[in-house]
Amino acid sequence: MKKIAIIFTMMLFVFGEELQVIESLKVPYQLGDDAITTFKGLKTPKSIILIIADGTGIGQYTLSYYANNNFAPSRFDHVGLVVTHPDDGLKKVTDSASSGTAMATGAKTYNGAISVDKEGNAIKTAMEIAKEFNYSTGVIATSTVTHATPASFIAHIDSRSKEGEIARQMARSNTDLIFGGGEKYWTDDVISILNEHNGQLIREIDAPYDPSKRVVGLFDHGALNPHTEERNPTTTQMAKRALDIFDRKAKGFFLMIEESQIDWGGHSNNADYIRGEMESLNNLVNMCLNYQEKHKDVLVVLTSDHECGGVSIHDAENGNLDVRYTSDYHSANFVPIFATGPGAEFFDAMIDNTTIGKQLIKYIKND
């Protein structure tokens, strides 16, 4: 009898309950930019570091707060909340492509879309605009570099699954630096395209290269190892090398760094995976904020594309954590945004994910 009661209770956690929503609310309501109090005298940053913790909501941050010996996000001095739904019929739950596009371009699109609208038209990204304004640009990921989040900043394609074509577009792009995994998608013909477009390939994080050319660093066949399985290079090592490179340029930079695998810990309902990836995020955030302390004109923003797993934290025996999940997929839960540096106070707000993209583009254009 007790066993049946436990199973029944567990089913409630797993399956949830259907809530009827009135017809007029079924298409998600989008927060407008007019919802934000206009800040007077916002400073424009010289450079921007955007950290995207994929699949990381309040549950993952809470897990990290109690299970890791450090909580780097508390060093940010501005905090807000982000609404993440796609423009995809009645759906409230986004994927990384749609939400990545929102942050990269300021526009909402359907799940699976990489910086294209519903008709398949390319939407210009903040990274492309930054290039027009002579910034150095870069993306870093611990997944394949052609995965949805980094792809959204560089490529334009109707489906995130076309990673071979995304590699081709990245090779042809003018992005100065691309670091991460996924060498399997960079076939010989793609590398030829890269070489023809003033680029070069490195396979070791500290490999010497020609600084007058674009650089693509591919450090694994597929995704990089999880943080707890000796990721090499670490997320922080990749970010540090990028900052060392950009530091030598007079003009500012726009760098997007994705801690990609927190999301995969959520998908696999694996608390230890989440804990490890959040530890990697702590190291990354600490390094970026230490850099910001010495370069006060840099804006550092940390946010997520969506939550994953519906993670919540409860007490277990002996001070351990009871980590529970409502799903093995993304949830529609709001995610936090943290910021420090010139223009950071803009993010002291509840905003739509497209507002992040729009504001970063404003900063890049200095208008």
Active site residues per annotation: 96
Comparing CA positions, the residue from 283, 285, 330, 276 lying closest to residue 303 is 285
Tell me the DSSP string of 265-285. Answer: HHHTT-HHHHHHHHHHHHHHH
Tokens matching residue 347: 């993010």
**CB of 96 or CB of 137, closer to Zn ion:** 96
Residues 111 and 159: their CA atoms lie apart, in Å, by 9
**CB of 45 or CB of 276, closer to Zn ion:** 276
Piece of 71-79, 99-107, 256-264, 314-322 that binds Zn ion (CB under 5 A):
256-264
Nearest-approach distance from CB 108 to Zn ion, in angstroms: 18
Letters for 10-49 (x = contact with Zn ion by CB under 5 A, - = none) are ----------------------------------------
Comparing CA positions, the residue from 352, 345, 367 lying closest to residue 106 is 352
Q: Does 259 bind Zn ion (CB under 5 A)?
A: no
Letters for 207-246 (x = contact with Zn ion by CB under 5 A, - = none) are ----------------------------------------
Among 88, 128, 259, 263, binds Zn ion (CB under 5 A): 263
Residues near 311 by beta carbon (within 8 Å), at least 6 away in sequence: 57, 59, 60, 63, 266, 274, 323, 324, 325
**CB of 70 or CB of 270, closer to Zn ion:** 270
Question: Tokens 């709001």 correspond to what residue?
Answer: 334
Question: Tokens 């939407």 correspond to what residue?
Answer: 123
Nearest-approach distance from CB 326 to Zn ion, in angstroms: 15
Nearest-approach distance from CB 181 to Zn ion, in angstroms: 16
Piece of 82-90, 152-160, 244-252, 255-263 that binds Zn ion (CB under 5 A):
255-263
Piece of 33-41, 45-53, 77-85, 258-266 that binds Zn ion (CB under 5 A):
258-266
Q: Count the site residues for Zn ion by CB under 5 A.
A: 1
Strands 177-181, 312-315: pairing kind: unpaired
Q: For residue 6, with 0-12 CB atoms within 10 Å meaning exposed, 13-18 middle and 19 or more buried, which class applies? A: exposed
Piece of 21-29, 141-149, 250-258, 261-269 that binds Zn ion (CB under 5 A):
261-269
288-317 positions binding Zn ion, by CB under 5 A: none
Number of residues that make up the chain: 367
Strand partners, 91: none
Q: Which residues bind Zn ion (CB under 5 A)?
A: 263
